[in-house]
Amino acid sequence: MRFSANLGFLWAELPLPEAIRAARRAGFDAVECHWPYAVPPGEVTAALAETGFEMLGLNTRRGNVAAGDNGLAAVPGRAAEARDAIDEAVAYGAAIGARNAHVMAGVAAGAAAHACFVANLAYACKVAAARGMSILIEPLNGHDAPGYFLTHTDQAAGIIAEVGADNLRLMFDCYHVQRTEGDVDGRIEALLPVIGHVQFAGVPARGVPDEGDLAYGPLFALLDRLGWGVPLGAEYRPDGPTADSLGWMARFRALL
């Protein structure tokens, strides 16, 4: 089993190029990030080339976080901002060789928000396809992201079918799915054809994955049996230095 370090949480105190190098020293197989835009793409590309890593993904900007924004793509009346954020994420992602761009929906509800999200995703998929990239959408749980438009994997699967783009996929975050729906194993098996990336963290504290309510050993074994080949994204919050939190990686690899 291979693992990707999500550098939005792991080594978050380091500049992104140094966090990439730290992930290589720690034994990860790839990296992903949240919002890398303050770092010149050339610096990220140099660190990726040095380490031999692929950047699996990045997020669109959230908007005005201080005003409560958590993404823009499903927020009626803000399509121009949403598409600017999509253009930025795809351009930056293409410059660093990223595989995916996660389009964040935002705080919204109702039919107008659904229509807005579908339209903006269709736009995102077209822009991303021209750069050889895929678009991800991720349901977030209501405890961590109150009011977020996309909350359920069935909702996401329906939107993916409605948009009908080959490069639109589900970001399946085991932490969020467990907190909202449960039955993570069953959800993965049912949704495998539309999943583009898998992330994980301990439930409910979002700490290391070998603590909490969700047993990742059997879950990782299931993914292995299903033939999942993309590095799994470690998106948890370390309780202290990241390097001190990594005992789980050797333990889970030893099981497979």
Looking at 32, 81, 88, 235, which residue is catalytic? 235
Q: How far apart are CA 30 and CA 55, in angstroms?
A: 6
137 and 156 in contact (C-beta within 8 Å)?
yes
Residue 244 has what DSSP assignment?
Answer: G
235 is catalytic: yes
- In angstroms and rounded to an integer, the radius of gyration of the C-alpha atoms of the chain is 17
138 is catalytic: yes
Q: Which of 73, 21, 27, 101 is nearest to 253 (CA)?
A: 27
Structure tokens at 22: 């730290």
Looking at 138, 181, 189, 211, which residue is catalytic? 138
Alpha-carbon distance values, 139 to 79, 136, 154, 180, 205 (Å): 20, 10, 9, 9, 18
Q: How far apart are CA 83 and CA 137, in angstroms?
A: 15
Structure tokens at 221: 């074994």
Q: Which of 136, 85, 104, 98 is nearest to 20 (CA)?
A: 98
Q: Which of 27, 33, 32, 21 is nearest to 1 (CA)?
A: 27
3-class secondary structure, 152: coil
Active centre residues (catalytic): 138, 235
